[in-house]
Amino acid sequence: MLTGTLPFQAMSASELKRRVMSGRLTLPDGLSAEVRDLIRQMLTLSPEQRIDIPSIRRHPWLLPVAAAPPHATAARPVRAPSNLEALQPEDEPIDPETLRKLAALGLNSDAVVDSVRTQAFNHEAACYQMLRNATMPPPAAGLLTETL
C-alpha cells in the first residue's frame, strides 16, 4: 500500500509461495531505512519475533503521525508522495475488466475510478492496482530483493 506494489512478486503461484515462505520480498528503491525496517519487522516469518501493534505505533517511521493532533490526520485523503510515479496517469484508460471484477466484489465503480484518477491511497485505489497488476509480470528495474 505504501508504494502501490506488492512486497512479494513472482511469475507463478508456486514461486510466490516460495518467496513468501522464505521471506524474499521486493521493495522499490527510494524507501527510507526507517520504513524498510518497519516493513521487515512486520513481515518477519516467525510470529513470535514479528513486531506487535503497540510497537508498530511507536516505530520511528510512524512517530510524526502518532505525534500529530487527531484532527490533523483524520478524514483527510492521503495522496501519493511526490517522489513516486503516478499510479494511473490521467491519459491512461481505466481497465474495464478490472473495474468489472471490482464491481462484482461490491466496490462502487465511480469511487474506484475517482480514487485511481486522483491517486488516492485508499481501499478502492489499492484494490484496483493490486487486481490490475496481479497478471502483469513483476518489474525488473528499480527494485531491490531482500531476504528477511
CA distance 2 to 81: 9
pLDDT (tens digit per residue) in 21-43: 888 777 777 788 898 899 889 98
DSSP string, 5-29: S-SS--SSHHHHHHHHHHTEEEEET
- The closest of 7, 35, 33 to 19, measured between CA atoms, is 7
Q: 87: closest CA among 40, 122, 137, 36? A: 122
User: Where does residue 115 rank: exposed (0-12), middle (13-18), buried (19+ CB within 10 A)?
Assistant: buried
> Which stretches in the chain have pLDDT values below 50?
72-76, 78, 80-88, 141
- What count of other Cβ atoms lies within 10 Å of the Cβ of residue 88? 20
> Of the candidates 32, 15, 45, 61, which has an alpha carbon nearest to the alpha carbon of residue 148?
45
pTM over 0.75: no
Q: C-alpha grid cell for residue 89?
A: 496517469
